[in-house]
Structures are given as C-alpha cells and as structure tokens.
Amino acid sequence: MEKPIIAGKAPKVMKMEPGKYFWCACGKSSKQPFCDGSHGTSGITPVKVEISEPKEVYWCMCKQSKNKPFCDGSHQKL
C-alpha cells in the first residue's frame, strides 16, 4: 500500500450541508478534500462521512490526522 500524498498543510474549512461525503484519504484527488476516484490501485480507500446537520467542518488535508477525516493538528508537525 502506498503512503498518502500531502494535499495541504492546513485544514480545509467548509460549511457542510447534511449528506454523505467521501473524503480523499490518498491525497491524489483533484477535488480535495473529496474523492474523485484517483486512488485507483493505491490500496488507500476514501472515508465515508455522513453529516446529519449543517455545520462547519475542518477537513484534514495533510492526510496524517489520527481523527480522519477531520483535522487534529497533525499538519503542524510536518
């Protein structure tokens, strides 16, 4: 399995509406922070997230978070 690519060194803050989302875990997607299928055969699969109410979300962009798909500050150690 490949290691994820760092897509950014800060979280992507977004106002999210209720729904199902697939967070890119590999870092290859051109639609960050969401999956566009670029992971292919990398062995890394997207993380399914269900948002139940409108809220602000801090999506992990460094792909190193221990609280995936959400930012836990791991980018500060890169």
CATH number at residue 18: 3.40.5
> How many domains does the structure of the chain reveal?
1
In a domain, 38, yes or no: yes
pLDDT tens, residue by residue, 57-70: 999 999 999 999 99
pLDDT number for residue 1: 72
Residues 30-41, buried b or exposed e (16+ Cβ, 10 A)? eebbbbeeebee
Per the CB < 8 A criterion, the answer to whether 4 and 26 are in contact is: yes
In a domain, 4, yes or no: no
In a domain, 1, yes or no: no
Positions of the chain with pLDDT under 50: none
- CA dist., res. 27 & res. 4, Å (int): 6
In a domain, 17, yes or no: yes
In a domain, 42, yes or no: yes
Chain CA centroid to CA 37, Å: 13
pTM of the model: 0.94
pLDDT number for residue 2: 87
In a domain, 3, yes or no: no
Task: Give the domain range for residue 27.
Answer: 12-69
pLDDT number for residue 32: 98
Average pLDDT, the chain: 96
